[in-house]
């Protein structure tokens, strides 16, 4: 089984990489493979709700000039997902949110029902708000949210400083242990979600 890790920082080897590296190392100790995808530091597009992805057989986003479709292509081969982001103004990296919103909208069916977790990396404040924001799409896609012994938060400003946050690292190792346990317990089978019950949307403005 394999966990897809998304590094949502513009710094490829910054503190978000330290955090996800700790998760990956602990997953490996549990016999679970992982792959890390970096969103990069090039411009990315936000969703314009054009609907093109819904009309295409492959579900690809109409914008194919950034990392979004490359991430989406990896959803099917992943048994679980961990998304890491630095905290900017009390929020996750805006570029990461733009990519994730497009990927989940266009290819969410390939990752739906699979275990997921978020990791927030900050200098001092805003981590819990960012953590909650990152978790929101998981609930929408019936993805079991994997917990730890504390919120998945780690602290550091300069690149590499997160490695000094011993409690944060311990929290991430516990997260990885719980993720591995859940994958092994379910054999990697996605959560059933709605099952056979069709979606019954209700719009409050008719």
The three-class DSSP label of residue 199 is coil
Percent of the chain predicted with pLDDT > 90: 91
8 A C-beta contact, residue 65 and residue 106: no
If one counts the domains in the chain, the total is 1
Cα distances (angstroms) measured from residue 143 to each of 40, 81, 136, 149, 156? 25, 9, 10, 19, 29
In a domain, 197, yes or no: no
- Residue 196: inside a domain: no
Fill in the DSSP letter of residue 145.
B
Q: Please report, for the domain that includes residue 106, its CATH number.
A: 3.40.50.360
In a domain, 191, yes or no: no
Determine the pLDDT at residue 42.
96
* Structural domain contains residue 204: no
- Assess if residue 110 is contained within a domain: yes
Nearest to 16 by CA among 112, 110, 95, 107: 95
Instruction: Determine, yes or no, domain membership for 52.
Output: yes
Residue 35 lies in a domain: yes
pLDDT tens-place string over residues 170-184: 999 999 999 999 999
pLDDT digits (tens, 9 = 90+) for 107-165: 999 999 999 999 999 999 999 999 999 999 999 999 999 999 999 999 999 999 999 99
Residue 13 near residue 36 (C-beta atoms within 8 A):
no
Q: Is residue 93 part of a domain?
A: yes
Distance CA 129, CA 120 (A): 9
Mean pLDDT estimate for the chain: 96
Domain boundaries, position 178: 2-186
199 pLDDT exceeds 90?
A: no
């Amino acid at each position: 089984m394999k966990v897809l890790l998304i590094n949502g920082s513009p710094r490829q080897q910054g503190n978000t990489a330290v955090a996800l590296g700790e998760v990956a190392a602990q997953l490996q100790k549990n016999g679970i493979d992982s792959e890390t995808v970096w969103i990069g530091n090039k411009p990315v597009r936000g969703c314009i709700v054009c609907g093109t992805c819904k009309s295409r057989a492959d579900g690809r986003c109409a914008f194919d000039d950034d990392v979004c479709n490359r991430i989406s292509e990896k959803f099917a081969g992943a048994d679980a997902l961990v998304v890491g982001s630095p905290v900017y103004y009390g929020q996750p990296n805006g570029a990461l949110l733009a990519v994730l919103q497009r990927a989940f909208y266009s290819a969410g069916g390939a990752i739906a029902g699979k275990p997921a977790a978020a990791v927030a990396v900050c200098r001092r404040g805003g981590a819990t708000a960012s953590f909650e924001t990152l978790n929101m799409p998981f609930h929408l896609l019936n993805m079991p949210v994997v917990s730890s012994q504390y919120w998945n938060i780690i602290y550091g400003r300069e690149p590499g400083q997160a490695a000094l946050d011993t409690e944060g690292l311990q929290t991430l190792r516990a997260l990885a242990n719980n993720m591995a346990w859940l994958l092994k317990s379910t054999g990697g089978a996605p959560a059933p979600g709605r099952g056979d019950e069709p979606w019954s949307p209700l719009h409050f403005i008719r």
